[in-house]
């Protein structure tokens, strides 16, 4: 064994979204984004690099060549999931001069993989941390954020806890996340999950199609710059109302670009719409609650931590059959 390390990372939910790449290989986004890292939704990953003497010899039998392995929640993975992880490990191997090695990767999520909540953000943040450490690289948090970005854009934000800003940048060096001071706010997210029927389109494919075909895309990118400015101001002044308004509007804007893509992309289910309306209703009754949605039918509700439990109860009552979980601000990557 050349090296072994383990790390955990929490998922994050974007309040101002990342949707669209300027560079697909380096995963440079078209706009900056802002997120909240969440406790209770995390991935723990172990990585072991092994020497492969057999791979260098003239091994003719393909079955004898050692390859990377991946298990998620105890289940061995092949196909796309393994290819994506292997591709990411190649970046780590080339940074560390470990080209001749293979890796065994084992990963566990606190929510079942496939429930629509296990996110690529926590997965690639934990993988970047464990793999870089196992490879003998001691990266600074910023370097780790840049590396995690290469696996999945949103993962660069899960390197840090609390409120996190991802600066779009113009190059590998300038596109990284950093924590911002959120001490004037006490935020929580209520995740409202909807039973999923159809297999959703991956966010990666969906964002590519949106950038390529939606006539609203450029306008949305322009509005993101303004949303970032307002959201940063809201955080600085501790103005939850303003942050909530920006969050809900930004998410609606992103979904409008998807709905106007060709062919259109619609992640919403009837229950998603019922939840969006319930959130409006709760707000009309005087409680601060604002919705946001990602590449799936679940709705996340931004609230003050003090209101989280009552908003969760209220949502269960207003939308029968939905499942809710409450998440406080989460932590930076842990080794």
Q: Which of 32, 42, 152, 292 binds ligand DP6 (CB under 6 A)?
A: 152
The answer to whether 211 and 331 have CB atoms below 8 angstroms apart is no
Task: Between 27 and 319, name the residue whose CB sits nearer to ligand DP6.
Answer: 27
Q: Which of 3, 8, 17, 93 binds ligand DP6 (CB under 6 A)?
A: 17
Question: Residue 329 has what DSSP assignment?
Answer: B
Q: Which of 10, 18, 116, 330 binds ligand DP6 (CB under 6 A)?
A: 18
Q: Does 295 bind ligand DP6 (CB under 6 A)?
A: yes
Beta bridge partners of 47: 5, 105
Tell me the window of 56-64, 148-156, 226-234, 266-274 that interacts with ligand DP6 (CB under 6 A): 148-156
Beta strand extents in 250-334 (DSSP E only): 289-293, 299-304, 323-328
Task: Between 152 and 175, name the residue whose CB sits nearer to ligand DP6.
Answer: 152
Give the full edge-to-edge strand order of the sheet including 289-293.
Answer: 289-293, 299-304, 187-193, 323-328
Q: Which of 294, 314, 329, 333 binds ligand DP6 (CB under 6 A)?
A: 294
Q: Does 209 bind ligand DP6 (CB under 6 A)?
A: no
Spatial separation of the C-alpha atoms in residues 117 and 162, rounded to whole Å: 18
Q: Does 37 bind ligand DP6 (CB under 6 A)?
A: no
Q: Which of 11, 14, 276, 322 binds ligand DP6 (CB under 6 A)?
A: 14
State the residue number with the nearest CB to ligand DP6: 153
Q: Which of 43, 203, 214, 257 binds ligand DP6 (CB under 6 A)?
A: 203
Q: Tokens representing 307?
A: 């209101």
Spatial separation of the C-alpha atoms in residues 72 and 234, rounded to whole Å: 38
Q: How far is CA 136 from CA 46, 71, 127, in A?
A: 14, 22, 14
Task: Between 69 and 250, name the residue whose CB sits nearer to ligand DP6.
Answer: 250
Spatial separation of the C-alpha atoms in residues 333 and 45, rounded to whole Å: 11
Task: Work out how close the CB of 8 gets to ligand DP6 at its nearest, in angstroms, rounded to a whole number.
Answer: 19
Beta strand extents in the chain (DSSP E only): 3-16, 21-23, 28-29, 33-51, 69-72, 75-76, 101-109, 163-167, 176-179, 187-193, 289-293, 299-304, 323-328
Q: Which of 31, 37, 120, 175 binds ligand DP6 (CB under 6 A)?
A: 120
Tell me the window of 3-11, 16-24, 72-80, 236-244 that interacts with ligand DP6 (CB under 6 A): 16-24
Q: Does 253 bind ligand DP6 (CB under 6 A)?
A: no
The contact set with ligand DP6 (CB under 6 A) reads 14, 17-19, 27, 33, 120, 152-154, 203-204, 294-295
């Amino acid at each position: 064994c050349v090296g072994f390390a383990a790390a955990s990372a929490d998922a994050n939910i974007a309040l101002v979204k990342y949707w669209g790449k300027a560079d697909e290989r380096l995963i440079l986004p078209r706009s900056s984004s802002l997120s909240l890292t969440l406790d209770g939704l995390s991935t723990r990953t172990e990585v072991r690099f092994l020497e492969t003497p057999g791979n260098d010899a003239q091994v003719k039998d393909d079955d004898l060549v050692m390859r990377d392995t991946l298990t998620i929640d105890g289940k061995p993975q092949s196909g796309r999931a393994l290819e994506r992880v292997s591709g990411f490990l190649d970046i780590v191997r080339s940074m560390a001069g470990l080209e001749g090695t293979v890796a065994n990767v084992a990963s566990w999520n606190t929510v079942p993989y496939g429930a629509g909540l296990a996110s690529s953000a926590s997965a690639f943040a934990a993988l970047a941390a464990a793999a870089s450490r196992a490879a003998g690289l001691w990266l600074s948090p910023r370097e780790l954020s840049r590396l995690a970005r290469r696996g999945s854009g949103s993962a660069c934000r899960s390197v840090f806890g609390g409120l996190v800003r991802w600066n779009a940048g113009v190059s590998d060096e300038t596109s990284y996340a950093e924590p911002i001071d959120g001490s004037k706010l006490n935020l929580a997210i209520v995740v409202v999950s909807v039973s999923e029927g159809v297999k959703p389109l991956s966010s990666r494919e969906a964002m590519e199609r949106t950038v390529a075909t939606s006539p609203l895309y450029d306008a949305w990118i322009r509005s993101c710059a303004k949303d970032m400015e307002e959201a940063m101001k809201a955080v600085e002044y501790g103005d939850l109302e303003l942050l909530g308004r920006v969050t809900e509007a930004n998410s609606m804007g992103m979904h409008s670009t998807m709905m106007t893509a060709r062919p259109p992309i619609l992640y919403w289910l009837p229950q998603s719409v019922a939840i969006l309306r319930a959130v409006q209703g709760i707000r009309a009754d005087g409680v601060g609650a604002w919705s946001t949605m990602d590449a799936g039918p679940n709705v996340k509700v931004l609230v003050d931590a003090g209101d989280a439990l009552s908003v969760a109860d209220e949502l269960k009552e207003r939308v029968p059959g939905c499942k809710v979980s409450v998440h406080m601000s989460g932590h930076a990557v842990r080794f």
